[in-house]
Amino acid sequence: PSAEESESSEESEPDDTPAMEQAEAGAGTVAAHLLPAPLQAADESPAPRTQAPPAGTPAPPAAASAPTRPPVKPAVFIPVNRSPEMQEERLKLPILSEEQVIMEAVAEHPVVIVCGETGSGKTTQVPQFLYEAGYGSDNSVIGVTEPRRVAAIAMSQRVAKEMNLSQRIVSYQIRYEGNVTEDTRIKFMTDGVLLKEIQKDFLLLRYKVVIIDEAHERSVYTDILIGLLSRIVSLRAKRHLPLKLLIMSATLRVEDFTQNQRLFPEPPPVIKVESRQFPVTVHFNKRTPLQDYSGECFRKVCKIHRMLPAGGILVFLTGQAEVHALCRRLRKAFPPPRARPQGKEDQEDSVEEMRKFKKSRARAKKARAEALPQINLDHYSVLPAGEGDEDREAEMDDEEGAVGSDLDLDLGDDGMDGGEQPDASLPLHVLPLYSLLAPEKQAQVFKPPPEGTRLCVVATNVAETSLTIPGIKYVVDCGKVKKRYYDRVTGVSSFRVTWVSQASADQRAGRAGRTEPGHCYRLYSSAVFGDFEQFPPPEITRRPVEDLILQMKALNIEKVINFPFPTPPSVEALIAAEDLLIALGALQAPQKTERVKQLQSSRLSRPITALGRTMAAFPVAPRYAKMLALSRQHGCLPYAITIVAAMTVRELFEELDRPAASEEELAKLKGRRARVAQMKRTWAGQGASLKLGDLMVLLGAVGACEYAGCTPQFCEANGLRYKAIMETRRLRGQLTTAVNAVCPEAGLFMDPKMQPPTESQVTYLRQIVTAGLGDHLARRVQSEELLDAKWRNAYKTPLLDDPVFIHPSSVLFKELPEFVVYQEIVETTKMYMKGVCAVEVQWIPSLLPSYCQFDKPLEEPAPAYCAETGRVLCHRASTFYRVGWPLPAVQVD
Ligand code: CDP
Ligand code: MG
């Protein structure tokens, strides 16, 4: 990190860093700090840099407090060679008529907000306007951030196509992949990617303009980026290297940006793009909420398809597994047309073909009529806090649903446009759409469906605003969304399926009226709709923030409480984050000598430690980053990287706890469960190795899989999710690169096929894991402590009053070690710990001193790991001999 710092300060004026710190130190608005007195001094020395603006442009009002220089208005016009058809299509977009207004506003103001209905052309057109106006010239890049990977990829492809440019020039970058080159001029990326870039180059000098797209989604990274960019824009103005910021949003809830003095003291202009939206008739269900919304979606799609005129159908569900289940069911019910047999066998085959066709139709009919029981989808599963991108959707159980009582929906009355009768035998072209779907499959939804079929896209809420699918006339809205919830007291965060907000429901309905009047079928009653929240709460108020706080501290933003968040997280959330980071050694702990008053004033402004900086360089949650930072000893790094990657990717194993739909399926499931349980035991091994518990299983599973060549067959046979395995491999590569960047002398290279760790390495790994998951420590309740039967075999954690248990799928389920650390708590019938690893009680005071209370001060030298270097310090060999750990002490720098 120090190399990076000096690199960016090379380009900085000497007073820059102090100015930033000054900005943090005092109270008041950010802008007041960011436009400090020395500004005039700087202004006196004329500093015409490369982007000297053309003469004669009037000074913009918004830049009044900035140096009195004409705004940068690129004189260039970069021609784009679009195809005539593409040009014609573009001209239909409402945003085209606003080009002039937008570009003038951008020229005159540092920050501009563009608001417009989804589909009006913001994402695809505004980058093109900027490109043509020369914002991508002089080797600079037009940056566009998207909260979702799907959108970053799809939009870069679309824009490249529209502009007739290669993806070398209009490119994308997401967490694991990208096609950015030296020639890239328009770069679509996820917001997390830009945040990482800011860490490397705070002023983002490669960019002349940054577009924050989908700002209404209020993803945490979007919010943070807007806060950071409000500062970067000021700092760049001071340097006479103006940076333009465009905030683009779908719905009109921009007050958090415009009425926020701390964020933008000068309210940025808002340009509204009026768009042609055809009327959408909304049909509510008469009866109130169904548990079985998947099944209800299925019935509704069937009815629409059989009874209503041509036009695409878009179904909103909550998660990937549900989407697939419904797709399968629909494809079964409306099979795609059979390909006609070719050549001379035509004649002979046709009878057989006909028979097959009839048979498949009969099967489909049966499938339609079959009523399967459906599990309650309102239950939720608890998952660990704060890892990774929001668009990593958790998978929830969802079995093919029951056709319960057939609902008497009068589709016929209000749904029919009259006139043309639908062709009931028309095949349905069913396509899934969700964030983690492979890009080429995502792209399918933009293509017209095959001749003579009706398009039906089954999507998560990625289709709500990010992507506009052409030709949709009917929307089926289950009214639910899967969101991460976070319990501030227990630190347990969970994905839950809840009702959407009114704004989201209306947004979903609007998807039906893009090209002609449409219909939206809501699978809930209007009374229920009336109880919906008006807007969804911004994500930052719903999730733990330790990863963000660490990233911000790494950017030298010490007083996070003063950061201009569009919506600030709660103080409790900030305190919880800071406490965790202090305990992990990422932030400086308060000195014992600090008085209460000092302590209060330093609250939420603790500086980052060297260890914290190292941790911030790893793209994983702070607990896992701590493990990585600790593992450069005894050859543990490759193993720690693998464990962390597997824990971050989550759910390496297929979900096999699901209820079975039939006897046959049950038998199959039982067989698979037994097979997986046996493999887990094999991978966990015995003795020392078994104590690493479920993390040893992860290590063994990844190792074995790599040995077997990582084939889908191997995964299938052993109950592993192929996709998760591939993602683990990618993340391992990425973490290896990150480790090498932090510590080149580690000279690590990724060897997918690791040798299994030695017995002593396993013990070290347990210590490393313990140091990272220290706040997830649980102690088994001893028999003499048993208050009542519900505590039998239970564990106690510091924060939960209720008993927690080792999950039956854990290899430590029967072992019941006295102390364990766990990756996550999943609440089903009981609270279950998953990802469990045994801890030796003797390690706790030395590895987790901040979670212990000592009667007398620890003997010198304590504690047992050095926060500055991130190395484990085993200072007294005798101690370890006593606990039977015959390993030599580790040298500390
Ligand atoms: O960003 P905004 O929602 O305002 O609109 P957009 O994403 O720029 O989309 C503008 C239009 O381009 C929509 O009507 C889409 O249907 C169309 N589009 C397309 O046909 N194919 C794509 N791959 C992306 C967009
Ligand atoms: Mg858009």
Instruction: Give the DSSP letter string of 683-733.
Output: HH-STHHHHTHHHHHHHHHHHHHHHTT--HHHHHHTTB-HHHHHHHHHHHH
Query: How high is the pLDDT of residue 22?
Result: 37
More confident residue, 443 or 364: 443
Residues 122 and 95 sit within 8 Å (Cβ to Cβ) = yes
If pLDDT is split at 50, 70 and 90, which confidence band does 380 have?
Answer: very low
Instruction: For 746, list phi and psi in degrees, rounded to 5.
Output: -65, -30
Higher pLDDT, 193 or 650: 193
Task: Report how far apart the first and last C-alpha atoms of the chain are (Å, whole number).
Answer: 19
* Both structure tokens of 758: 């030695």
Contact 191, 146 (CB under 8 A): yes
Q: How far apart are CA 87 and CA 132, in angstroms?
A: 14
Are the C-beta atoms of 837 and 769 separated by less than 8 Å?
A: yes
pLDDT at 75: 60
Give 437-500 as a DSSP string. S-HHHHHGGGSPPPTT-EEEEEE-GGGTTT---TTEEEEEE--EEEEEEE-TTT--EEEEEEE-
Distance CA 525, CA 273 (A): 32
Whether a cis peptide bond, with omega within 30° of 0, leads into 517 is: no
What are φ and ψ of residue 312, in 5° steps?
A: -70, 155
Tokens of 761: 């390495």
pLDDT at 185 over 70: yes
Helices (H), strands (E): how many in the chain?
A: 32, 23
Cα–Cα distance measured from residue 312 to residue 831, given in angstroms and rounded to the nearest whole number: 43
Nearest ligand 1 atom to the CA of 117 is 4
What percentage of the chain carries pLDDT values higher than 70? Answer: 73
Tokens for 289, please give them: 């909420």
pLDDT attached to residue 77: 84
d(CA 814, CA 142): 57
Q: If you average pLDDT over every residue of the chain, what do you get?
A: 76
Ligand 1 centroid–CA 337 distance in Å is 29
Q: Is 223 helix (H, G, I), strand (E, B) or coil?
A: helix
**pLDDT band for position 680 (50/70/90)?**
very high
Indicate the residue type of 552. Answer: M
| pLDDT at residue 358 in the model | 59
More confident residue, 247 or 611: 247
What six digits make up the tokens of 402? 């029951």
Atom of ligand 1 nearest to the CA of 467: 7
Q: What is the pLDDT of residue 289?
A: 60
774 CB-contact burial (10 Å; exposed 0-12 / middle 13-18 / buried 19+): buried
CA of 118 to the centre of ligand 2 (A): 6
Position 291 scores a pLDDT of: 76
Joined together, the tokens standing for residue 75 give 């004189």
Secondary element (H or E) of residue 362:
helix 346-369
Closest ligand to the CA of 91: 1
pLDDT at 865 > cutoff 60: no
Give percent of the chain with pLDDT exceeding 90.
Answer: 39
- Ligand nearest to the CA of residue 124, numbered in listed order: 1
Instruction: Using the mean position of ligand 1's atoms as its centre, give its distance from the Cα of residue 499 in Å.
Output: 27
Tell me, what's the pLDDT at 853?
Answer: 61
Confidence of residue 250 (pLDDT cuts 50, 70, 90): confident
Residue-level pLDDT at 210: 98
Burial class (CB in 10 A: 0-12, 13-18, 19+), 558: buried
Atom of ligand 1 nearest to the CA of 95: 4
pLDDT number for residue 362: 58
**The pLDDT of residue 827:** 79
Q: Does the beta carbon of 122 sit less than 6 angstroms from any atom of ligand 1?
A: yes
Residue 488 has pLDDT above 90, yes or no: no
pTM recorded for the entire structure: 0.67
From CA 478, how far away is CA 319, in angstroms rounded? 12
**Residue owning tokens 């994905």:** 495
Residue nearest to atom 10 of ligand 1 (CA): 121
Residue 765: what pLDDT? 93
The pLDDT-based confidence of 598 (bands split at 50, 70, 90) is low
119 alpha carbon to ligand 1 midpoint, in Å? 5
Please say whether the beta carbons of 153 and 166 come within 8 A: no
Give dist(CA 443, CA 206) in Å, integer.
30
Residue 39 φ then ψ, to 5°: -55, -45
Q: Which of 195-209, 242-256, 407-421, 735-749 has the lowest mean pLDDT?
A: 407-421
Q: 250 is written with which tokens?
A: 């779908």
- Span from the CA of 158 to the centroid of ligand 1 (angstroms): 8
Q: Which of left, alpha, beta for 479 (phi over 0: left; psi -120 to 50: alpha)? A: left
Structure tokens at 606: 């603790």
Question: Pocket of ligand 1, candidates 158, 272, 277, 441: which has the most ligand atoms within 8 Å of its Cβ, to mutate?
Answer: 158
Band of pLDDT at residue 479, cut at 50, 70 and 90: very high
Q: Whose CA is nearest to atom 19 of ligand 1?
A: 446
- Give the H/E segment covering residue 834: strand 831-839
Q: Any bridge partners for residue 270, and if so which?
A: 113
Q: Evaluate: CB of 93 within 6 angstroms of ligand 1.
A: yes
Q: What share of the chain is helix, strand, coil (3-state, %, to 5)?
A: 40, 15, 45
Give the ligand 1 atom nearest the CA of 466.
3
C-alpha distance from residue 848 to each of 150, 594, 769, 772, 814 (Å) = 41, 22, 11, 9, 26
What does the pLDDT average to over 647-661?
A: 81
321 falls in which pLDDT band (50, 70, 90)?
confident
Whether the pLDDT of residue 354 is over 70: the answer is no
Give the residue, out of 252, 468, 473, with the most ligand 1 atoms within 8 A of its beta carbon, to mutate for a pocket test. Answer: 468
Token pair for residue 691? 């104590």
Instruction: Compute the distance from residue 281 Cα to the ligand 1 centre, in Å.
Output: 23
- pLDDT for 748 equals 74
Query: Ligand 2: distance of its center to the CA of 215 in Å?
Result: 10
Give DSSP secondary structure letters for 312-337: EEEEE-SSHHHHHHHHHHHHHHSPPP
Q: What is the DSSP letter of 236?
A: H
Question: What pLDDT is stored for residue 616 in this prediction?
Answer: 87
Ligand number nearest to the C-alpha of 215: 2
Taking the CA of 447 as reference, the closest ligand is 1
Q: Is residue 713 a contact partner of residue 588, using CB atoms and an 8 Å limit?
A: no
Going by C-alpha positions, the residue among 107, 63, 71, 73 that lies closest to residue 265 is 63
Closest CA to 620 of 834, 777, 871, 386: 386
pLDDT of residue 38: 30
- Give mean pLDDT, residues 272-280: 85
Segment 454-460 mean pLDDT: 95
Q: Which amino acid residue places its CA nearest to atom 8 of ligand 1?
A: 121
Of 570, 398, 581, 569, residue with least CA distance to 495? 398
Q: 758 near 829, Cβ under 8 Å? A: no
Q: Which two tokens stand for residue 478?
A: 């289950």
- Give the mean pLDDT of 210-228: 91
φ, ψ (nearest 5 deg) of residue 826: -110, 125
- Tell whether omega for the bond before 857 is within 30 degrees of 0, i.e. cis: no
- 343 token code pair: 């050549």
pLDDT at 457: 96
CA dist 508 and 655 (Å) reads 30
Q: How far apart are CA 825 and CA 833, in angstroms?
A: 4
Whole-number Å distance between alpha carbons of 677 and 811: 8
Q: Which ligand is nearest to the CA of 273?
A: 1
Burial of 24 (0-12, 13-18, 19+ CB in 10 A): middle
pLDDT tens digit sequence for 326-340 = 999 999 888 876 644
Residue predicted with more confidence, 634 or 270: 270
Q: Please give the pLDDT value at position 495.
A: 66
Q: 510 C-alpha vs ligand 1 centroid, how far in Å? A: 14
Does residue 305 have a pLDDT over 70? yes
CA 383 – CA 825 distance, rounded (Å): 7
Question: Which of 369-373, 539-543, 577-581, 867-871 has the largest mean confidence?
Answer: 577-581
Which residue(s) pair with 382 in the sheet?
Answer: 494
**DSSP, residue by residue, 170-203:** EEEE-SS-B---TT--EEEEEHHHHHHHHHH-TT
pLDDT in tens, 493-543: 566 788 999 989 998 998 998 888 999 999 999 999 999 998 888 888 888
**Reduced to 3 states, what is the DSSP secondary structure of residue 160?**
helix
pLDDT at residue 24 is higher than 80: no
Give the residue carrying structure tokens 């002490």.
889
**pLDDT of amino acid 450:** 92
266 Cα to the center of ligand 2, angstroms = 26
Please say whether the beta carbons of 645 and 728 come within 8 A: yes
Predicted confidence (pLDDT) at residue 411 exceeds the cutoff of 50: no
Which is higher by pLDDT, 740 or 865? 740
Confidence of residue 888 (pLDDT cuts 50, 70, 90): very low
Three-class secondary structure assignment of 14-42:
CCHHHHHHHHHHCCCCHHHHHCCCHHHHH
For residue 458, what are the β-bridge partners? Answer: 315, 432
